[in-house]
Amino acid sequence: MVNKIKIATNAAPPATGTYSQAIRTGDLVFVTGQTGRDPGTGKLEEGLEAQTRRVLSNIDAILNAAGCSPADIVKVTVLLADIKDFKAVDVIYSAWLPGRGVTPLPARTAFATVSLPAGALVMIEVVAAYPKAE
């Protein structure tokens, strides 16, 4: 059986279904797709830019709880309610991503979907390498 460690923090919205905020197995941390929900209110932020910033803040909090940082991210998946929003999300994402030009950027996939939970405009999931792998 694979050793799986549940990662949870109150600094990001709680899981509202049959999933965990993140799971660590071996030297990888899998962060569930985050939307722009505020962890305090549970409500989506207003507008694409605010939702994108909240998504990244939620990812920061979960990675921190896992003992990681954005610098440890190896794979990113971006889901958009409208593919036309890709450039606006990418501008915010690029400013947030550490080590640009210094370290290799994570692999990334981005696509539009028919809809996202609760009317979200953007959802991002990441996979990070656990820096203190056993």
DSSP string, the chain: ----EEE--TTSPPP-SSS-SEEEETTEEEEEEE-SB-TTT-PBPSSHHHHHHHHHHHHHHHHHHTT--GGGEEEEEEEESSGGGHHHHHHHHHHHSTTTTTSPPPEEEEEE-S--GGG-SEEEEEEEE-TT--
Q: Of all residues in the chain, what percent carry a pLDDT higher than 70?
A: 96
Q: What is the mean pLDDT of residues 45-63?
A: 98
Structural domain includes residue 134 = no
Structural domain includes residue 44 = yes
Structural domain includes residue 9 = yes
- Counting the structural domains of the chain, the total is 1
Q: What is the mean pLDDT of residues 125-129?
A: 97
> What's the pLDDT at 1?
82
Structural domain includes residue 81 = yes
Q: Is the pLDDT of residue 66 over 80?
A: yes
Structural domain includes residue 66 = yes
Full domain range(s) for residue 35: 5-129
Structural domain includes residue 102 = yes
Structural domain includes residue 40 = yes
CATH number for position 35: 3.30.1330.40
Q: Is the pLDDT of residue 35 over 60?
A: yes
Confidence of residue 100 (pLDDT cuts 50, 70, 90): low
